[in-house]
Amino acid sequence: MKKYNVVVVGATGLVGRKMIQVLEERKFPVEKLRLLASAKSAGTTIVFNGKSVDVDELTKESFKGIDVALFSAGGAISKEFAPYAVKAGTLVIDNSSAFRMDPDVPLVVPEVNHEDIYWHKGIIANPNCSTIQMVVALKPIHDRWRIKRIVVSTYQGITGAGKKAVEQLEGELAKRMDVEKKFPHPIAYNVLPQIDIFVEGGYTKEEIKMVNETKKIMGDDSIKVTATCVRVPVIGGHSEAVNIELEKPFRITDVTGLLRRARGVKLQDDISKSIYPMPIWSHDKDDVFVGRIRRDETIVNGLNLWIVSDNLRKGAATNAVQIAEEWIKQLKSKK
């Protein structure tokens, strides 16, 4: 089996560390793993496949001989360094928002649009975590009944905001006065109806991402999407209440049967036993969990779903590694 030289940019962050874990768990064919981060984090060691790997400082020359680069160090770093990786012949899979809406960059969720990998020009974008889990669940429904409109409210865990967010929650719960603030308000015992900054119209950037990314990934600009994104004091896992309006009539049994067979989806929908998706059940798993499936009686062909997934895994690290796996399959198919 051919093996590949892989680099993780942002290796010491929450997503970077999870990428390393997922590469090992999925037995990705790594010949050599290189770990990169800021000068401040350089010198750290991280274990991969039983061996300690040093974290080096990211530079413009870091990509010589590298086949795949998994970027998770923020949009500014991606914009600065991804072009150097591409110039070196490296495939960049970027977890930031830097390239997601670039028309020349595929935005990929393998269960939904893996075929878009074919037209990459050196960079493939990993979508927003909240978008990924939603489209995995909705794409089979869209293909069967056509979605006209999506109304989504998210309940997003704090790991989506990074290490400082976790430290703020833990510090507040411990009643420490010296905790550094990641959020504009306390997060312990609280709910914040703001993720990212506000833009024109009163929406946040996170909400706009869900709107635009959903249309691009699903390949259908006619779908109407509106979102409200909320931060909740949960360490890991994002939950979403999703209401959709379909073009065609449906039966609930057909919806549940379709989702039971869908790639990447795990149905948890037995209300008689209080079985439904929860972040605590999704922790460190790659599935998108779907439940509370019920008809919306207020509109024609309306449907409600509750969707939960581990945002660090399927919402970030696992999806990026899956893209790399699909890329390898496509390389083999071309031979």
Q: What pLDDT does 208 receive?
A: 98
Residue 129 annotated to the active site: yes
CATH number attached to the domain at 130-310 = 3.30.360.10
Do 4-126+315-334 and 130-310 show the same overall fold? no
Element (H, E) at 295: strand 288-296
C-alpha–C-alpha distance, residues 22 and 25, integer Å: 5
Average pLDDT over residues 192-205: 96
Place of tokens 């905790």: 179
Average pLDDT over residues 247-271: 98
Cβ–Cβ < 8 Å for 246, 147: yes
C-alpha–C-alpha distance, residues 230 and 71, integer Å: 25
C-alpha–C-alpha distance, residues 129 and 237, integer Å: 10
| Mean confidence (pLDDT) of the chain | 97
334 band by pLDDT with thresholds 50, 70 and 90: confident
Element (H, E) at 70: strand 68-71
1 band by pLDDT with thresholds 50, 70 and 90: confident
pLDDT above 70 for 143: yes
Minimal CA–CA distance to 18: which of 320, 325, 288, 307?
320
- The one catalytic residue in 114, 120, 129, 142 is 129
Predicted TM-score (pTM) of this structure: 0.96
Tens digits of residue pLDDT in 207-238: 999 999 999 999 999 999 999 999 999 998 99
Q: What pLDDT does 335 receive?
A: 66
Average pLDDT over residues 133-161: 98
**Cβ-Cβ contacts under 8 Å for 213 (sequence gap 6 or more):** 100, 101, 107, 127, 128, 131
Domain ranges (residues) in the chain: 4-126+315-334, 130-310
- The one catalytic residue in 114, 120, 142, 238 is 238
**Lowest mean pLDDT segment, chosen from 219-233, 265-279, 321-335:** 321-335
Three-state DSSP at 54 gives strand
Structure tokens at 192: 């914040």
Q: What pLDDT does 281 receive?
A: 93
Tens digits of residue pLDDT in 28-50: 999 999 999 999 999 999 999 99
C-alpha–C-alpha distance, residues 196 and 204, integer Å: 6
Q: What pLDDT does 331 receive?
A: 85
Average pLDDT over residues 140-156: 98
Q: What pLDDT does 66 receive?
A: 98
Q: What pLDDT does 333 receive?
A: 79
Residue 238 annotated to the active site: yes
Q: What pLDDT does 332 receive?
A: 79
pLDDT above 90 for 117: yes
Average pLDDT over residues 250-273: 98
Q: Per CATH, which fold does 4-126+315-334 belong to?
A: Rossmann fold (3.40.50)
Average pLDDT over residues 112-123: 97
What torsion, rounded to 10 degrees, do the Cα atoms 151, 157, 160, 166 define? 160
Average pLDDT over residues 235-247: 96
